[in-house]
């Protein structure tokens, strides 16, 4: 991704014809949509203070030519799936090249550079070179984490590495397993002796009956002991493994940047932490109990069968391949349904949570029946998918059993012949046949499970892959950087040409610059969606600017230790998040060791004390998820108390009092005025009353800073945004007073 792409020869020729030497080219970049609107190229070239647009055919044409000195504005405009480069020149508006979002990064960088060239005709190309290199590097860095690709083989190796701490237990389990299998193999041997030498017509040792039965009993007991011990170790290792993994994942999630959570769905993350780790638990338990056991069993029994009578052994093998092939085919068929079933379950769950959390809306609009019908259809889908799986299992399982018994029947027939035959070469005893049949019963089961091995491995590897993907995400703070510690922030804040977009190519903030002195109160006003909250997010460094810089106390925000920064910034959000716990715990969230006086003091400042003590459990009131049981205003006041207790150096109030009535707001403001004295405070507001007495006002519109300065000066601007805002709000106020008067 470069904004100095190599131009094709014919374009260079064309430039030469226009007297532009190739060493005069400042920018050259291609789009990925051609003039006809299909995938293809057009070239945008900046050279010799001209902006040129060329088509990319074998005989390229000049589509547009602008003189940079005549351009009044150049910007990329968002479309659906792509953007268009818009140029205003000599009073005419031009839509030039179109390109898809995949090219938007380089075009927005180009636009930025061109804008700088417009403003600064003397811009030296050496400076330009350095700047472009730096910006391109920044761009490349931000792209790096876009797609992490971890190969399957690597996943397997890492999975085994993660299991290393449990190796000792695994070895013990394996030894126990070998002993267990050996024990499993003995009873049929004993029954053979029982049939041939004790019970048969030619029995030579009828007295052994007692001893043999006791031996059989002893073997059963030993088997139980081994099974119990093995299972206990197994579950302990499995749970321990998952415990460690879950903890690792959660620690990681807490350290990831907000940007990551914007990219991923929270629901998906939850399933990774809970479901995927459980799949991995099966990995541990399956190693010893599942496929290892099966392999050992197959080899053990196979050896015994062949050593007893290799001719019969050959007949045993006949259904073997059939079992394997049938199982594999079955799994191939069923796996799609399994995934679908999983999806259906996910769909029904998400519907359920949506419908139940919105139950008030459902009832208010009397739409219960519609919800019931919608649920019915999803429920039906789930049933269909479950049915598909169960039905095919119900068919498959009996067929499998039949195949197993087919082997048995063959052995009965051929083995029966061998028993009856007198030829010493082929003859076997009845006891041998019975023992043979018992071994056979133990043989096909493991074979069939082994056929599912690849499926199981895929499942485990996919789960592991999903988990590693999170573990591999780049963390919020890069450890290799030396961060500057600011233990006592004064509160000087400066934005310098800040551009930002949550999705890089959709800029939310464009070229924002302002400077705030320590202790100043700043009001930010603008329409909803104009970028007010984004400014707050950037000050908290939840995100980093796409380009430009933010300084706090003259230090670049990206160099400040994040913990230092956030410890000294307090944010009150419009929709405050409260955690499950008591009111006191929620207020003391950022200062868990706060004493009761401090908590009450903070609540008083936030005008929350009165309503809290009115509650039956006072400060000990337990509140539900997201503060269920409290009104919007009460939640906001609690979150203000939380910030008050934190005592930050910089305070950001993001429509913090929007759900609070005017009288309470006044009370909170009065109380806060002490708190915010000498602290830099940002107040994002819709209401004029909220930003009374601020030192400066920032007016933002569509991501662009329109006005900035003391309100006294802004009000003087004829038709200015701030003066309009004040006028509208005053009219509203008048309207409201009239209304109140009429209703008295």
Partner 1 sequence: MEQHRINYISPENSEFSITDGDTLQLKTNGIIYPHVKVFRSYPLNQTNKYISLKNASTEDEPEIGIIKDLDEFPQNTKYLILLKLDKRYFVPVIKKIVFLEEKGDHLSWEVETDRGTRKFIVRNSYDNIYPLKNGKFIVIDTHACRYEIPDNSLFQGKALGILSRHIYL
Angle between helices 292-308 and 310-317 (to 10 degrees): 140
Tell me the closest approach of the beta carbon of residue 40 to partner 1, in angstroms.
7
251 versus 339: smaller Cβ distance to partner 1? 339
62 versus 469: smaller Cβ distance to partner 1? 469
Tell me the closest approach of the beta carbon of residue 678 to partner 1, in angstroms.
38
303 versus 454: smaller Cβ distance to partner 1? 454
Tell me the closest approach of the beta carbon of residue 339 to partner 1, in angstroms.
4
Q: Quick one: CA dihedral 180, 186, 191, 194, positive or negative?
A: negative
Tell me the closest approach of the beta carbon of residue 506 to partner 1, in angstroms.
8
Tell me the closest approach of the beta carbon of residue 465 to partner 1, in angstroms.
5
18 versus 339: smaller Cβ distance to partner 1? 339
604 versus 706: smaller Cβ distance to partner 1? 706
User: How many other CB atoms are found less than 10 A from the CB of residue 377?
Assistant: 10
Tell me the closest approach of the beta carbon of residue 394 to partner 1, in angstroms.
22
Tell me the closest approach of the beta carbon of residue 73 to partner 1, in angstroms.
12
127 versus 140: smaller Cβ distance to partner 1? 140
Q: Which of 657, 689, 509, 483 is nearest to 566 (CA)?
A: 483
Tell me the closest approach of the beta carbon of residue 104 to partner 1, in angstroms.
8
325 versus 335: smaller Cβ distance to partner 1? 335
**What is the three-class DSSP state of 366?**
coil
Rounded to whole angstroms, how far apart are CA atoms 524 and 509?
14
**What is the three-class DSSP state of 558?**
helix
Neighbouring residues of 266: CB distance < 8 A, sequence distance ≥ 6: none
193, two tokens = 């002796």
127 versus 503: smaller Cβ distance to partner 1? 503
462 versus 585: smaller Cβ distance to partner 1? 462
Rounded to whole angstroms, how far apart are CA atoms 653 and 414?
87
Tell me the closest approach of the beta carbon of residue 102 to partner 1, in angstroms.
5
User: What is the Cα 74 distance to its own chain's centre?
Assistant: 36
Rounded to whole angstroms, how far apart are CA atoms 696 and 687?
15
Tell me the closest approach of the beta carbon of residue 335 to partner 1, in angstroms.
8
465 versus 609: smaller Cβ distance to partner 1? 465
Rounded to whole angstroms, how far apart are CA atoms 76 and 106?
11
654 versus 707: smaller Cβ distance to partner 1? 707
DSSP letters, 277-334, are HHHHHHHHHIIIIIIHHHHHHHHHHHHHHHHH-HHHHHHHHTHHHHHHHHHHHHHHHH
267 versus 710: smaller Cβ distance to partner 1? 267
Tell me the closest approach of the beta carbon of residue 71 to partner 1, in angstroms.
13
329-344 burial: b if 16+ Cβ within 10 Å, else e = ebbeebeebeebbeeb
HSE-CB of 712 using CA atoms within 13 angstroms:
2
Rounded to whole angstroms, how far apart are CA atoms 657 and 650?
18
Q: Quick one: CA dihedral 500, 505, 510, 511, positive or negative?
A: positive
Q: Which of 282, 272, 283 is nearest to 250 (CA)?
A: 272
Tell me the closest approach of the beta carbon of residue 729 to partner 1, in angstroms.
19
Rounded to whole angstroms, how far apart are CA atoms 612 and 634?
9
149, two tokens = 């690709």
Q: Which of 489, 545, 550, 532 is nearest to 653 (CA)?
A: 532
Rounded to whole angstroms, how far apart are CA atoms 443 and 430?
20
User: How many other CB atoms are found less than 10 A from the CB of residue 106?
Assistant: 24
The partner residues of 27 in beta bridges, in order of sequence, read 46
Tell me the closest approach of the beta carbon of residue 586 to partner 1, in angstroms.
32
Measured between its terminal Cα atoms, the distance across the chain in Å is 67
Tell me the closest approach of the beta carbon of residue 268 to partner 1, in angstroms.
7
Which stretches of the chain bind partner 1, using CB under 8 A?
33, 37-40, 79-82, 84, 92-96, 98, 100-102, 104, 146-147, 149-150, 264-265, 268, 335-336, 339-340, 343, 346, 381, 462, 465-466, 469, 503, 505
290 versus 531: smaller Cβ distance to partner 1? 531
Tell me the closest approach of the beta carbon of residue 480 to partner 1, in angstroms.
27
The residue behind tokens 């990329």 is 76
570, two tokens = 């307090």
User: What is the Cα 331 distance to its own chain's centre?
Assistant: 29
User: How many other CB atoms are found less than 10 A from the CB of residue 164?
Assistant: 9
Rounded to whole angstroms, how far apart are CA atoms 385 and 377?
12
80 versus 364: smaller Cβ distance to partner 1? 80
Q: Which helix (H) or strand (E) holds 51?
A: strand 50-55
274 versus 303: smaller Cβ distance to partner 1? 274
């Amino acid at each position: 991704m470069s904004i100095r792409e190599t131009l094709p020869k014919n374009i260079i020729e064309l430039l030469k014809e226009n007297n532009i030497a190739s060493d005069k080219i400042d920018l050259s970049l291609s789009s990925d949509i051609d003039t006809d609107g299909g995938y293809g190229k057009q070239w945008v070239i900046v050279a010799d203070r001209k902006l040129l647009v060329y088509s990319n055919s074998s005989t390229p044409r000049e589509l547009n030519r602008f003189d940079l000195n005549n351009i009044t504005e150049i910007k990329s405009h968002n479309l659906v799936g792509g953007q268009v480069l818009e140029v205003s020149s000599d009073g005419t508006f031009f839509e030039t090249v179109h390109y898809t979002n995949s090219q938007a990064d380089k075009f927005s960088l180009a636009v930025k550079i061109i804008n700088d060239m417009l403003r600064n005709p003397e811009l030296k190309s050496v400076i330009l070179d350095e700047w472009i290199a730096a910006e391109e590097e920044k761009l490349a860095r931000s792209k790096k984490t876009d797609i992490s690709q971890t190969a399957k083989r690597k996943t397997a190796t890492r999975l085994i590495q993660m299991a290393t701490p449990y190796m000792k237990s695994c070895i013990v389990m394996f030894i126990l397993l070998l002993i267990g299998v050996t024990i499993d193999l003995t009873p049929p041997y004993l029954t053979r002796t029982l049939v041939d030498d004790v019970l048969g017509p030619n029995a030579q040792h009828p007295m052994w009956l007692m001893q043999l039965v006791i031996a059989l009993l002893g073997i059963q007991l030993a088997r139980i002991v081994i099974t119990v011990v093995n299972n206990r170790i197994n579950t302990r290792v499995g749970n321990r493994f998952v415990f460690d993994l879950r903890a690792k994942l959660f620690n990681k999630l807490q350290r990831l940047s907000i940007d990551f959570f914007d990219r991923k769905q929270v629901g998906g993350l939850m399933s990774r932490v809970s479901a995927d780790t459980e799949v991995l638990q099966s990995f541990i338990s399956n190693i010893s109990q599942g496929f290892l056991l099966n392999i050992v069993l197959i080899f053990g029994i196979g050896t015994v069968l062949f050593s007893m009578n290799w001719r019969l052994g050959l007949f045993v093998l006949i259904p073997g391949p059939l079992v394997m092939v049938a199982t594999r085919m079955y799994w191939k068929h069923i796996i799609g349904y399994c995934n679908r079933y999983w999806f259906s379950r996910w769909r029904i769950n998400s519907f359920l949570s949506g419908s139940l959390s919105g139950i008030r809306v459902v009832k208010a609009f009397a739409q219960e029946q519609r919800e019931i019908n919608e649920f019915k259809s999803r429920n039906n889908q789930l049933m269909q998918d479950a049915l598909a799986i169960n039905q095919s299992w119900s068919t498959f399982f009996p067929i499998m059993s039949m195949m197993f018994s087919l082997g048995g029947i063959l052995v009965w027939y051929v083995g029966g012949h061998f028993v009856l035959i007198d030829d010493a070469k082929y003859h076997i005893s009845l006891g041998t046949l019975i023992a043979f049949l018992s071994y056979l019963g133990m043989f096909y089961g493991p074979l069939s499970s082994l056929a599912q091995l690849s499926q199981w491995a895929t499942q485990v590897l996919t789960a592991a892959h999903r988990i590693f993907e999170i573990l591999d995400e780049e963390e919020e703070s890069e450890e290799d950087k030396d961060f500057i510690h600011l233990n006592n922030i004064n509160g000087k804040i400066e934005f310098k040409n800040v551009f930002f977009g949550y999705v890089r190519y959709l800029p939310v903030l464009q070229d924002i610059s302002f400077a705030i002195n320590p202790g100043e109160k700043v009001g930010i006003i603008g329409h909803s969606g104009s970028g007010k909250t984004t400014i707050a997010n950037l000050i908290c460094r939840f995100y980093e600017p796409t380009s430009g810089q933010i300084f706090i106390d003259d230090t670049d925000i990206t160099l400040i230790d994040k913990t230092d920064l956030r410890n000294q910034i307090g944010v009150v959000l419009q929709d405050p998040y409260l955690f499950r716990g008591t009111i006191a715990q929620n207020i003391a969230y950022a200062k868990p060791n706060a004493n009761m006086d401090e908590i009450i003091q903070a609540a008083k400042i936030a005008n929350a004390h009165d309503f809290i003590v009115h509650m039956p459990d006072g400060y000990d009131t337990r509140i539900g998820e997201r503060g269920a049981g409290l009104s919007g205003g009460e939640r906001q006041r609690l979150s203000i108390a939380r910030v008050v207790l934190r005592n930050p150096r910089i305070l950001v109030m993001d429509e913090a009092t929007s759900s609070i009535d005017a009288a309470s707001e006044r009370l909170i403001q009065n109380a806060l005025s002490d708190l915010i004295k000498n602290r830099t405070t940002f107040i994002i507001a819709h209401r004029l009353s909220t930003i009374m007495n601020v030192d400066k006002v920032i007016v933002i519109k569509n991501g662009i800073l329109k006005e900035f300065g003391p309100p006294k000066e802004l009000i003087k601007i004829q038709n200015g945004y701030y003066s309009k805002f004040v006028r509208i709000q005053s009219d509203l106020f008048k309207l409201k007073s009239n209304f109140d008067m009429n209703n008295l």
